[in-house]
Amino acid sequence: MKVLLVNGSPHKNGSTYVALREVETALNNEGIETSIVWLGTEAISGCLACGYCSRNGKCVKNDIVNDFAQRAKNADGFVFGTPVHYAGASGAIVSFLDRLFISTPFDKTMKVGASVSIARRAGTTTTMDALNKYFLISEMHVIGSSYWNDVHGRRPGEAAEDLEGMQTMGNLAENMTFL
């Protein structure tokens, strides 16, 4: 099994990475191949609704979305992580996911997916809800955990200190492995 994890934070090694790394470690312990992809700090354009992808099987914008799509075809599962910005996902991951799910012709049915949101305090559940819709509209299995798939902490050190959040990330990986 192969799972791709996406870090939608502008901070490569910030709190989102800490949470994803916890999931990755638990998946690796179960013998699952993983890779964390960081979206970076360059702007990711939203969908232009130009129709290019329906004719050519890829997005007209040749950037990280098309690069990731090539890797995603052979993945069995995905974990999309994002910091919470005003009770929602980062703009980068929303643009990325809009274009990824619209432009990719490969079958996502029955693959597994999980969303992870990181916040100082609140907004995590609305963020997870928005990310989970990409899985649901694609007939994927959405993976939950022992609580909401979130971690609390503004700085990386604080996220790692959220013991319940870190345990939730480990349980998420176990549930993903089971399914």
pLDDT by residue (tens digit) across 84-112?
A: 999 999 999 999 999 999 999 999 999 99
The string of pLDDT tens digits covering residues 112-140 is 999 999 999 999 999 999 999 999 999 99
CA–CA gap between residue 59 and residue 139 (Å, rounded): 21
The closest alpha carbon to 94, from 44, 40, 154, belongs to: 44
pLDDT of residue 18: 96
Q: How far is CA 106 from the centre of its chain?
A: 18
pLDDT of residue 157: 84
Q: Compute φ and ψ for 35, nearest 5 degrees.
A: -155, 135
pTM, whole model, 2 decimals?
A: 0.96
Question: Which own/partner pairs from 42-47 qualify as long-range (CB within 8 Å, at least 24 positions apart)?
Answer: 43/92, 44/91, 44/92, 44/95, 44/96, 44/99, 45/95, 45/99, 46/94, 46/95, 46/98, 46/99, 47/95, 47/98, 47/99, 47/102, 47/103
pLDDT of residue 156: 78
Query: What integer is the mean pLDDT of 6-31?
Result: 97
Average of per-residue pLDDT values in the chain: 96
- Residues of the chain with pLDDT > 90, as a percent, come to 96
